[in-house]
Structure 1
Amino acid sequence: MLKSFAAPALVLRMIGSALLLIGFVAVPQNFAAAEGLPAAGDDFHWGVAMSEFQSGGYFPDSNWTRYAQRSADPYRNSVDFYHRYPEDIQRAADLGVNTFRLSIEWARLEPATGQWDEQAFEYYDDVLREIADAGMRPMLTLDHWVYPGWVADQGGWANPDIVGEWLDNARKVVDRYAHLDPLWVTFNEGTAYVMQEVKHGGLSPADVPVMFDRMAQAHRSIYDYIHAVQPGAMVTTNASYIPTAEPVMDAQLIDKVADRLDYVGIDYYYGVSPTNPTAVYALLDEHWKATLEPEGVYYALRYYARKFPGKPLYIVENGMPTDNGAPRADGQTRAAALRDDVYWIQRAKADGMNVIGYNYWSLTDNYEWGTYAPRFGLYTVDVLTDPELTRRPTDGVDAYRDIIRTGGVPDGYTPSRPPAGCSLVDAPSSCLDPVTVD
């Protein structure tokens, strides 16, 4: 997820390369503005998203339990979804969401080489039963940046054996849960995953191409396996959309598996424009300082609608951070940010883009890959000072519930923030062919 992406030098080099590339590319203009703002429709996926490591707690040895020991904040047991999942799943159901995204963690299932923990499988059985009983469809992530400690000891993604070991786990997960007809995400934000591994010492810079190639191999193999077990399955690997740099980022993984994507999963958080360079704060883990440009979600959708004509598009993650729950300096609230983002998603759908779903990140605050300071949750939780881990609703709870009940924001809604004068989210198209508020 871009909100926790942290490899500024490499990212800036990629952005520079992307600008050089796209500055000479003519972008076809394929989408005409529609009149009105229709509701999303009964078949639209309204969801919430979470990562089980980031929220679960009580986690066995893994690459990230090790990285956390050197991070700004101790992991502790995060918000203890591990024991509190029934109440958290009910919170999601009370919002009215029909889709619940979580990860099934390899480190829980196979804590030692070849030793499968049946109690861990039973834990996920119970979690998914609660989700299904609450009337929600699971979206299952097979790899959300976490792998067992014994895999780390073998060299992680630099070890050629990891593809076979990863597939052994993934096939067991598919065999056990395909009957629930989940949506699937193979790798969460592949480019961000690689950069986090480099940042924390799990991968050398020289092995970056190797990790991308091995993830592509693993994705292609498990894609075919999922479809053999679950005909008609919907499978993706979601992109951490990075303004101006996405063509370069896509070349690392998405383009290598383009014929094995049933839908395009997109994580969108921050825009960038000549008058708003603040997205760089997201690279420095000061996410709340990055000024939001909600219309950027429209440009991100338009980018992929042109890249993959007709293919379903799904905003797998989107949300707004605060600094430990404090009001943002720019005055933006979670409720307003939610409504603005949904407005632009409805605009994209009205303009002919095949948008099938939206997940808010995240249901509760969680461990943002080394720190609890950035708070994205609809329900806020003060992990470091509240031993009860109380879930307190933000203004986003009522806003999202209303959005879901009515199928979006109403026709005639005006976003709280006007579009940037020259967005660079999908440069040059987003600057030369800007969207306007009707």
Structure 2
Amino acid sequence: MRRRPVLGLVVALLAGAVSAVGAPPAQAEEPFLWGVATSGYQSEGSAPDSNWRRYEQSGTSSIEEPYRNAVDFRHRYAEDIANARALGARVFRFGVEWARVEPREDVVDQAELAYYDDVVDHVLAAGMRPMITLDHWVYPGWVADQGGWDTQKTVDDWLANARRVVDRYKGKGAIWITVNEPTVYVQNEIENGGIQAWQAPWMQSRLVTVHRRAYDLIHQLDPGAMVSSNAAYIPGVQAALDATFVDHVRDKLDFVGVDYYYGASLDNLSAVHGVNGEFWKIDPQPDGIYYVLRYYARKFPDLPLYVVESGMPTDDGRARPDGYTRADHLRDHVYWVQRAKADGMDVIGYNYWSITDNYEWGSYRPRFGLYTVDARSDPALNRRPTDGVAAYRSLVAGDGVPAGYRPVKAPAVCSLVDGLDSCLRPAPYPGPLAPLG
């Protein structure tokens, strides 16, 4: 997660916008994909040399505390996957870290590939589909040394690694995410010194290129696989952000992947707390997810929609002052996903971020996990269930919230998630629900 205001970035990226072509293919319907998510650097521990390891060690502006060993997913993945299975999840999202697989140029670490082999085997044995992220903002240190995303060579090196990973895990029912939240990726690279602000259009163009080429590569090696990227939805500016990436890969998407964390409305401008990374102070706006889905259903009427990330942080695991719980957050957001489906939007999946607490790109203070882990002071890194565990298990078993459910958080007064459209055309409340299945 971890995203800050991006208006300056929008201007920089629009200056280098690339043209889009074609129309997306329709996808076959399948059972609703309840999932959980995690990522490599944030959770694995035992961090290899990478851009983010260097940012952490050098103490760039986004780093608030040391990495330690994250939550040691690298050695505890079997437990996390078993916990996901017990929820009834059908999808387990994780990343295959390029920096771990290829620690030095042209040197492939077979032991680390064997580790990912076992992760995939555990996911499949648990009856879930792997959702594999190829790039979750992390690249090897040797790529940083050659200029990172400021050099065309990184495109070829990235694609060579993608071919290696896809060829290894083809035929296993994987859902592929090429690049996680591309616009936020660029923003983070600027903030941490990976690129300069004026280089943003070139990095964004290269991310467009690797997605487009990876899409074709995956369909060549793993026919029938679903491929996408996930967009971090930022209320009020999403159309401008889409113009820098999503609009230029629209013919290379099998579904729209979207991440929704916070909204904006006349009675809720608390997202301003994201400026300082204090995400736990943001007042959740569950109905915003409906308008996000409606925005993309209108923009891409032939593509199904998948909520790749959605979650709520607490302040170091403490209860929120307003009493709103992770269970409330889950049920309220799923209610609005069901409303979207009842209104004809083709929503095919929902991943909760995340299965455990993790290193939120410089800090352990924001706690998103269904299972909480005290990475600072618990050397055993015990996974302790929050109230979200029972709530999510119930949602999966019941195909969503039951008929008659009313969200704890009332709809916003004049939602601005989709600009004036979400204010002028609010979803009737209460309204019909559709089971997700």
- 2:301 is equivalent to residue 309 of structure 1: yes
Give the number of equivalent residue pairs: 411
User: Could you tell me which residue of structure 2 aligns to residue 161 of structure 1?
Assistant: 153
Deviation at 1:156, TM superposition (A): 0.6
User: Could you tell me which residue of structure 1 aligns to residue 22 of structure 2?
Assistant: none
- 2:279 is equivalent to residue 291 of structure 1: no
Deviations 1:132-157 (A, max 9, x none): 00000000100000000000111110
Contact 2:6 2:187 in 1 (8 A): no
User: Could you tell me which residue of structure 2 aligns to residue 337 of structure 1?
Assistant: 329
CA distance in 2, matches of 1:254, 1:5: 18
User: Could you tell me which residue of structure 2 aligns to residue 243 of structure 1?
Assistant: 235
**Distance of aligned partners of 1:121 and 1:407 in 2 relative to their CA distance in 1, 3 Å threshold:** same
CA distance in 2, matches of 1:414, 1:437: 10
User: Could you tell me which residue of structure 2 aligns to residue 269 of structure 1?
Assistant: 261
Deviations 1:260-288 (A, max 9, x none): 00000000000011221111212321001
**Which residue identity lines up with residue 50 of structure 2 in the other structure?**
S
Contact 1:271 1:425 in 2 (8 A): yes
CA distance in 2, matches of 1:258, 1:140: 20
CA distance in 1, matches of 2:45, 2:143: 20
CA distance in 2, matches of 1:178, 1:413: 41
CA distance in 1, matches of 2:82, 2:268: 39
Contact 1:8 1:283 in 2 (8 A): no
Matches within 5 A, 1:18-417: 43-69=31-57, 70=59, 71-417=63-409
CA distance in 2, matches of 1:393, 1:42: 30
Q: Helix, strand or coil for the counterpart of 1:363?
A: coil
**Which residue identity lines up with residue 374 of structure 1 in the other structure?**
P
CA distance in 1, matches of 2:10, 2:406: 34
Deviation at 1:234, TM superposition (A): 0.7
**Distance of aligned partners of 1:52 and 1:60 in 2 relative to their CA distance in 1, 3 Å threshold:** same
Contact 2:103 2:109 in 1 (8 A): yes
CA distance in 2, matches of 1:233, 1:145: 23
Deviations 1:238-267 (A, max 9, x none): 100000110000011101111000000000
Contact 1:62 1:149 in 2 (8 A): yes
CA distance in 1, matches of 2:115, 2:48: 14
Unaligned 5+ runs, structure 2: 15-28, 431-437
Query: How big is the alpha-carbon RMSD for the aligned residues of Structure 1 and Structure 2?
Result: 1.4
Deviation at 1:310, TM superposition (A): 2.8
Deviation at 1:10, TM superposition (A): 2.2
**Distance of aligned partners of 1:9 and 1:430 in 2 relative to their CA distance in 1, 3 Å threshold:** closer
User: Could you tell me which residue of structure 1 aligns to residue 24 of structure 2?
Assistant: none
Could you state the TM-score of these two structures normalised by the residue count of structure 2?
0.92
CA distance in 2, matches of 1:106, 1:42: 31
**Which residue identity lines up with residue 215 of structure 1 in the other structure?**
L
Q: Helix, strand or coil for the counterpart of 1:186?
A: strand
Contact 2:10 2:241 in 1 (8 A): no
Q: Helix, strand or coil for the counterpart of 1:415?
A: coil
Deviation at 1:11, TM superposition (A): 5.9
Deviation at 1:411, TM superposition (A): 1.0
Which is worse superposed, 226-235 or 264-273? 226-235
Contact 1:7 1:196 in 2 (8 A): no
CA distance in 2, matches of 1:55, 1:393: 17
Deviations 1:275-331 (A, max 9, x none): 211112123210010101000000000000000003110000000110000111232
**Which residue identity lines up with residue 387 of structure 2 in the other structure?**
D
Which is worse superposed, 397-406 or 272-281? 272-281
CA distance in 2, matches of 1:138, 1:105: 15
CA distance in 2, matches of 1:257, 1:215: 10
CA distance in 2, matches of 1:119, 1:12: 41
Deviation at 1:216, TM superposition (A): 0.6
CA distance in 1, matches of 2:164, 2:144: 21
Contact 1:7 1:195 in 2 (8 A): no
User: Could you tell me which residue of structure 2 aligns to residue 5 of structure 1?
Assistant: 3
**Distance of aligned partners of 1:305 and 1:241 in 2 relative to their CA distance in 1, 3 Å threshold:** same
CA distance in 2, matches of 1:406, 1:418: 22
Deviation at 1:436, TM superposition (A): 3.2
Contact 1:289 1:329 in 2 (8 A): no
**Which residue identity lines up with residue 165 of structure 1 in the other structure?**
D
CA distance in 2, matches of 1:299, 1:245: 14
User: Could you tell me which residue of structure 1 aligns to residue 23 of structure 2?
Assistant: none
Q: Helix, strand or coil for the counterpart of 1:74?
A: coil
Contact 2:49 2:140 in 1 (8 A): yes
Deviations 1:37-56 (A, max 9, x none): xxxx9800000000011000
Contact 1:322 1:376 in 2 (8 A): yes
CA distance in 2, matches of 1:226, 1:203: 28
Contact 1:265 1:316 in 2 (8 A): yes
**Distance of aligned partners of 1:220 and 1:191 in 2 relative to their CA distance in 1, 3 Å threshold:** same
